[in-house]
Amino acid sequence: MAAAYTPAVSGSGLKAGVQRLGGHLAGMVMPNIGAFIAWGLVTALFIPTGWLPNKHLGELVDPTITYLLPILIGYTGGRMVHGQRGAVVGAVATMGVVVGSKIPMFLGAMIVGPLAAYLLKKVDGYIQERTRTGFEMLVDNFTAGIVGGAVAVFGVWGVGPIVRQVTKGAGNGVEWLIHHHLLPLASVLIEPAKVLFLNNAVNHGVLAPLGFAEAAKDGKSILFMLESNPGPGLGVLLAYLMFGPRSLRPSVPAAIIIHFLGGIHEIYFPYILMKPRLILATMAGSAAGIATFMATGAGLVATPSPGSIFAYVAETPRHGWIGVYLGVLIAAAVSFAVGAVLLGFGRFAEKSPDEDGAEASDDGAAASTGAEEPAGDAGAPPATPASPSPQEA
């Protein structure tokens, strides 16, 4: 399934390995982009700070991002490895990393979903020829249940704590950079953490408490804008729209609206996962935006939630408009420029299947024609093999 979203990778080495990893991650996330858009719309509309606040409908938000989306990713990852049976055990195993977690376990789902499917594939290969006739369904169901349950328990005890420690480490790193006045370098940690769907943990767990303390003293804080700046994501999406794979360009305008106007940054994370090198674009854009905020003395009075440009309007202090929006604009411009370079200004966009098929047919026809042409003169009859001599006979 990954091949449907990324061009085939050839060769070996670190670069090819990263591209293959990005292709597999994209293969797990991109088929579920509709679910992300649905969650983004519900969030932008019905949360308390949304366009149509509704407490009852807003209850859809947390269960969807905590349970449904990770399980869909685990399901899809399992299906990539071992078909429908792999999808089922991948979803079951994902529950192990989801239960008891306070953050969306997308990273955990990307690990245990394919892992459970791979283990089931090996088990099926071992017992398939050893199962007696008439017991196939019984054996298939019990092996899937045992493998799925075992990996779910492993997720609770093993993968879940590891992902939580990764989240805690990212937060501690950002806090260290803040205390040592190295804010632009914070983007090196914040942007990769965001793409792994740890953005809420970094923002609300680390940046928001420090920002509120600073805002209580100074009336505003730059810390509210480190993670929530919509500029870097906007720049990457615009680069995708102009220079990205042709098959994905039609989905980008909706993602831009949901991200920049709706403030749902998670909508652009799958586009980064599909081509991991684009994380450099968001890091550069974020660093440029933070540097602009620092140079202009910009800050917000509270956390913009969600990270929409409209939320920035609501949280910008009086006489602070220029610095805030200049930082967003520069972040988007730098991210777009770096993303365009990394996408080769469209040179790396794969051709459509129809174009590839037509080109392959033309090449095949030319090769066949070339093979049928005789080596000598056009009018010369084809050479016949010489008869063996009496001595050879």
The pLDDT of residue 92 is 95
The pLDDT of residue 23 is 67
Name the least confident of 114-118, 203-207, 217-221. 203-207
Under a CB-based contact definition with an 8 Å cutoff, are residues 325 and 312 in contact?
yes
Distance CA 365, CA 220 (A): 69
The pLDDT of residue 288 is 94
23 burial type by CB count under 10 A (0-12 exposed, 13-18 middle, 19+ buried): buried
C-alpha dihedral, 290 to 193 to 229 to 298, nearest 10°: -30
Under a CB-based contact definition with an 8 Å cutoff, are residues 189 and 175 in contact?
no
Question: Token digits for 188?
Answer: 């090196």
Q: Which comes out higher in pLDDT, residue 15 or 246?
A: 246
How does the average pLDDT of the chain come out, rounded? 78
pLDDT value at 234 more than 60: yes
pLDDT average, residue stretch 56-63? 87
Residue 11 pLDDT level (bands cut at 50, 70, 90): low
Instruction: Name the 3-class secondary structure at 227.
Output: coil
Residue 277 pLDDT level (bands cut at 50, 70, 90): confident
The pLDDT of residue 230 is 92
Q: How far is CA 135 from CA 86, 127, 327, in A?
A: 20, 11, 65
Instruction: Name the 3-class secondary structure at 356.
Output: helix
185 burial type by CB count under 10 A (0-12 exposed, 13-18 middle, 19+ buried): middle
Name the least confident of 23-37, 141-155, 222-236, 268-282. 23-37
In this predicted model, what pLDDT tens digit does every residue of 97-124 receive, in sequence order? 888 676 778 778 888 999 999 999 999 9
The pLDDT of residue 237 is 94
